[in-house]
Amino acid sequence: MNVARLFEQAAQENPDRTAVHFPGIPTMGIPPRPISYKELSDWTGRFAGGLKALGLQPGDRFAVYMPNLPQFVISIWGGFQAGCVPSPMNPTLKKREIIHQITDSRSKLIIAPVLMLEEVAKAAEELPDLKVYVVGPGSDFPNFDELLKHPPHFVERADDDLALMPYTSGTTGKPKGVLLTHKNLSSNIRSVLKLMQARGTGERLLVPIPMFHITGMTVLMLTPLSMGVTIYPMIRWEAEWAMQLIQEHKITSMVCVPTLYIDLLNHPKAGEYDLSSLKLCSSGGAKMPVPLIEAMQKKLGLTVYEGYGLTETSPVTHTNLAAAKPKIGSIGWPIEGAECKIVDEQNKRLPIGQVGELCIRGPMVMKGYHNNPEATKQAIDSEGFFHTGDLGYVDEEGYYYIVDRVKDMINVGGVKVFPKEVEQVLYEHPAVAECAVVGMTDERKGETVKAYVVLKPGHMPSDKLAEEIQQHCLRELAAYKHPREIEFVQQLPKTASGKIQKYLLRGQG
């Protein structure tokens, strides 16, 4: 089944309901724009017709280089309806990165906003066969609206046909194309949809993270628009703007990465807005520090349900929404259809409570990596389990816990140190707003622990404060785990979805 059937059914059942409430761009004077399910359905069908008119065939790829604009939503659903394969692209990528993704994915078309066209135009000069369509006025390239002037079109697809080709976020290096099928997406949408409906999350969902990221794509765009929910996509993240939208539109649910919750919590006006309409706050993309979850509850009255997933798993595999009750510090239970195992370095299953690599099997697991059979073979074992690269364990009640990334683990003189454990202690210090712990080369011990720290407003970097934070860690952790070096920074390097890029920090040391 073509995954677009899920949206079409929701549009037929809720034609007059608002599907996308675009909040506009206040700083540019662009007003809000509500779009009904009927309008969105009509535009996606016409966009599919536009792809057909351009000569794109089922299975052909095209790139979507866009922030959270309504045209992004139209392009993705319309691409599915045409049987084509959207390849969402981070709209901050530069020319050489754009060229890599276009050539690697073999995309025949790229859609980009005029306001972010410079790098795309440079790339297009070296890709003469690439078609470029733009969103907004003031360009010599053909306009996106031209693609909406064709009769609606729909192509049925098989479960195993390719639907979407996102690229890994680059937290560990060069991105890889991920092959997600119509079954991958539809199974994940249905599983998440059931959990959201069971929790009575209401009808208004804030979209504070980019929809080109797999969590924004599936959890915040595809799933809600398959269940008649109104989504409020933010074109960029601003903590106060988010709180204004929650208060004004009585937003009932949102999903953020931990760094955005940190921004909310530390905003000086956090207590001035009414956030009581929120029934569900979820977190994914990175491990949520327990002190942060507790602070969200205490200061803002918000319970955050932590979950887990990856680009390669469409993405959701675990969530506290699936569990009998939320358990702080855990990622909850596996969702419907997800089988899990914890294994050692020899791929042998480990018993309850022992830390090993989390592996997942089920209908949400990707078909493989594009043009990379060796990487696919390394990632998916002979039993069909995807090896996540994350270290974790499961307790007696079936709750799963993520300890750290396999690659992020620090080896101090032969003893393992999990950065997340150190980071959790750092977050308990009143001066620490955000932090990242990495291993740095040490001649005597092989590696040593270093912490990069962003301070809360009102705290100034100093040797005295660094020593105070180190002493705090020494009181809470074994001596070999404490950060031997603390470097204060204004900000941490992150992907567009808010994940901290630790490999860049290791390169700075």
Residue 506 tokens read as: 């290791």
pLDDT for 442 equals: 83
The pLDDT of residue 29: 75
- Write down the domain spans for the chain: 410-508
The neighbour count for residue 390, using CB atoms within 10 Å, is 21
Asked if pLDDT for residue 254 goes beyond 80, the answer is: yes
Residue 68 DSSP class: S
- By the 8 A CB rule, do 455 and 418 touch? no
When pLDDT is averaged across residues 354-379 and rounded to a whole number, the result is: 96
Angle at 160 between CA 157 and CA 164, to 5 degrees: 75
Q: What is the mean pLDDT of the chain?
A: 93
The reported pTM is: 0.86
Q: What is the mean pLDDT of residues 239-262?
A: 94
- The 8-class DSSP code of residue 299 comes to I
Write out the two tokens for 95.
């020319």
- Mean pLDDT, rounded, for 121-129: 97
Give the model's pLDDT for residue 258.
87
Question: How confident is the model over 217-225, as a mean pLDDT?
Answer: 97
Rounded to the nearest 10 degrees, the angle between the axes of helix 419-427 and helix 463-476 is 110
pLDDT at 173 over 90: no
Average pLDDT estimate for 97-105 = 94
Matching CATH number, 410-508, of 3.30.300.30, 3.40.1190.20, 3.40.309.10, 1.20.1280.50: 3.30.300.30
From CA 106, how far away is CA 454, in angstroms rounded? 41
The residues, ordered by sequence, that sit 6+ positions from 125 with a Cβ below 8 Å of its Cβ are none
The Cα–Cα gap between 505 and 493 comes to 8
237 to each of 78, 88, 219, 240, how far by Cα in Å?
26, 19, 17, 9
Instruction: For residues 107 and 87, give the distance between their C-alpha atoms in angstroms, rounded to a whole number.
Output: 8
The predicted pLDDT at position 148 comes to 98
Asked whether the beta carbons of 338 and 317 are under 8 A apart, the reply is yes
Please, which pLDDT band fits residue 174 given cuts at 50, 70 and 90?
Answer: low
Q: Do residues 61 and 107 touch, judged by C-beta distance below 8 A?
A: yes
Q: Give the span between the Cα atoms of 106 and 177, in whole angstroms.
A: 11
Please give the backbone phi and psi of residue 64, each rounded to the nearest 5 degrees, phi first. Answer: -120, 105
Q: In what order do the strands lie in the sheet with 85-89?
A: 85-89, 61-65, 107-113, 131-135
